[in-house]
Amino acid sequence: MNTSAAATVAALIWRHRQSGQAMPALDAALCPTDRRQGYAAQAALAAQNQQAVAGWKIAATSEAGQKHIGVSGPLAGRIFAPTVIPQHQAVSLDGVRMLVAEPEMCFVMGQALPARDKPYTQSEVMAAVSALHVAIEVPNSRFETFATVGEASLIADNACAHSFVLGDAAPEGWSGLDLSRHPVSAEVTRADGTRWNRAGSGAAVLGDPRVALTWIANELRELGEGLQAGQFVTTGTCMPPLEIRAGDAVSADFGALGRIGVTFSA
């Protein structure tokens, strides 16, 4: 994919992101054919909108999630600063077609992990982390048939990044916990007062959120990107995504790591 094609794809995706309208699959002449081409279009998206990258997300960190959107493995995407929603502000579902909320563990980088030839080890990656936060992501795709467009197009579509709520930092001592077994529960309250619950754990995130963080550090390393100090990485949903609609409220309990609540508007 040349620079012109990547820019054209990025412009299409950004226009539909702004309008909230779904777009068809890309024409064959524009469609990225592999992951690297997808990331090239994603980088062009960042260059065009000139919004600060507050952090990164990892999509499809479970086998079920990968099957749901038709990909072979996890995907990395940028979280632009304007899409980070304060905890006590309602998250708009205008133009959102996926209609799910995902309770996630989110690491904040205290040190940069720049691009280099040698892969990062998990111990190196975790040593660069300054904090762990609880979070809720609301993904979305600009593609009308997101489950069939393929992983290269979904990477170009910023790995389905849309809205993100960063919760409070976990208390000191979190690094001593086994995050792979750490339980997470969530409750959805409908506008009519009915409630339902779902449970999960860090095991849903590539087996361990620390494994997921190491994965993205090396994915970005190979792309020449790297992680910057001050950026965060949200590592993927700890449970099957919560089905939501306007008027709902979601609360997620991460036990010793903290709690987070989000409401949704039309």
Within a domain: 199: yes
CATH at residue 195? 3.90.850.10
Instruction: Phi first, then psi: give them for residue 9, nearest 5 degrees.
Output: -60, -45
Q: Given this model, what pLDDT does residue 245 score?
A: 97
* Per-residue pLDDT reduced to its tens digit, 8-55: 999 999 999 999 999 999 999 999 999 999 999 999 999 999 999 999
Q: Are residues 173 and 236 in contact, defined by beta-carbon separation less than 8 angstroms?
A: no
* C-beta separation of 209 from 234 below 8 A: no
Which residues pair with residue 232 across a beta bridge? 55, 108
Residues spanned by the domain of 201: 51-265
Q: Please give the mean pLDDT across all residues of the chain.
A: 97
Q: Does 64 map to a domain?
A: yes
Contact at 8 Å (CB) between 75 and 159?
yes
Q: Which two tokens stand for residue 132?
A: 């762990």
Q: Is residue 85 part of a domain?
A: yes
The answer to whether residue 111 sits within a structural domain is: yes
Residue type, 229: A
**Full-model pTM:** 0.97
Q: What percent of the chain has pLDDT over 70?
A: 100
Q: Where are the alpha helices (DSSP H) in the chain?
A: 3-19, 35-49, 63-69, 122-127, 151-156, 209-223
260, part of any domain:
yes
- Domain assignment present for residue 21? The answer is no
- Residue 92: HSE in the Cβ half-sphere, 13 Å Cα cutoff: 5
Inside any domain, residue 33: no
* CB neighbour class for 28 (10 Å; exposed up to 12, middle 13-18, buried from 19): exposed
Q: Is 40 inside a domain boundary?
A: no
The proportion of the chain whose per-residue pLDDT surpasses 90, expressed as a percent, equals: 99
For 198, phi and psi rounded to 5 degrees? -150, 150
CB neighbour list of residue 26: distance below 8 Å, 6 or more residues apart: 9, 12, 32, 149, 153, 156
- Band of the pLDDT at 71, cuts 50, 70, 90? very high
Q: How many domains does the chain have?
A: 1
Give the model's pLDDT for residue 5: 95
- Asked if 227 and 233 count as a contact pair (C-beta separation under 8 A), the reply is yes
Answer yes or no: is pLDDT of 1 > 90: no
